[in-house]
Amino acid sequence: MGAKTGLLVYADGDVPELLRRVGAADLCRTVTMMRRLHPACEIEECGGSNLSEGVYPANGTVYAAAWPGVEVVCDQSVMIGAPSELPDRLVAASAGRRLVLHAMHSVVDWHAFAVWEDGRLVRSLSLSPDNGIIENIGEPLPFEQPYWAGARPVDIVPWPGEEEEPYALSFHPLDLGEDSLRALCGFIQEGRPEPDDVDADAIALFGFHVRDPRGPDPAEQEAEQRKAVAAMGQPRCYKLGPDGSLIETTGT
């Protein structure tokens, strides 16, 4: 699995139904929304994406679109371990509406989602095998029931020659992540599409660079990342031996 999401949706009703009906988004409406959500930040328009490809933008980039009745924001900064700690300004913007947060990261098998109704948190779940259940607030939603009931057990295939160790959770967070994305937003990242899924490829999003002038400079952050990578040792490479075991090789 390689799915990653950092997604907020503000809606006047059922998100999947509203997204099925949207056409081209309005740039002025979208810019107004962005300035409302990020009043202290510098916002500059850049190249856009779509709802299928843009749900995990680069750090400092936001893909967004606004229509009457529904607004979409894709932003890494909403990928927080405890969704209940979403910044107050983002929750306040959902007054009188539904707010959905969806986040997952395949590298660490982490998934989180949350739903607010008129600014009130009604459900939040965040879990990963390394940290267990990070947050669990409210009653489980219908799409969760098979997971908690044991009907969707985790299926992990071990490396050849290795003994299988029990997975830390009774189900895989990314499996739940795809089902929650479909149930809450109407589309998926990986898996087999269903006939009534939202056509996320067809929903265009505007792109924005968002920078907090009080925060670190993006160029400095990138330089620090390059410095950290340069300080790492040479990568260790392996190949499968005749008996299925892993054998370390030389070279890059």
Would you say 239 and 249 are in contact if contact means Cβ atoms under 8 Å apart? yes
Specify the higher pLDDT residue, 147 or 246: 147
For residue 247, is pLDDT > 90?
A: no
**CB-CB contact of 23 with 43 (8 Å):** no
Per residue in 196-235, is it b (16+ CB within 10 Å) or e — as a string?
ebbebeebbbbbbebbeeeeeeeeeeeeeeeeeeeeeeee
d(CA 227, CA 138): 43
pLDDT tens digits, one per residue of 231-244: 655 555 555 566 65
pLDDT above 70 covers a percentage of the chain that reads 81
Q: Which carries the bigger pLDDT value, residue 241 or residue 44?
A: 44
Query: For residues 187 and 196, is the Cβ–Cβ distance under 8 A?
Result: no
Question: Which residues, in sequence order, are bridge partners of residue 61?
Answer: 209
Specify the pLDDT at position 219: 58
pLDDT at 227 over 90: no
- Coil/strand/helix, residue 163: coil
Quote the CA–CA distance of 212 and 15 in Å, as a whole number.
Answer: 30
* Among the ranges given (22-31, 162-171, 175-184), the one the predictor scored with the smallest mean pLDDT: 162-171
- pLDDT 10s digits, 95-117: 999 999 999 999 999 999 999 99
Closest CA to 129 of 166, 78, 90: 166
pTM reported for the whole predicted model: 0.84
Segment 48-107, tens digit of pLDDT: 999 999 999 999 999 999 999 999 999 999 999 999 999 999 999 999 999 999 999 999
The domain ranges of the chain are 4-249
Confidence class of residue 28 from pLDDT cuts 50, 70 and 90?
very high
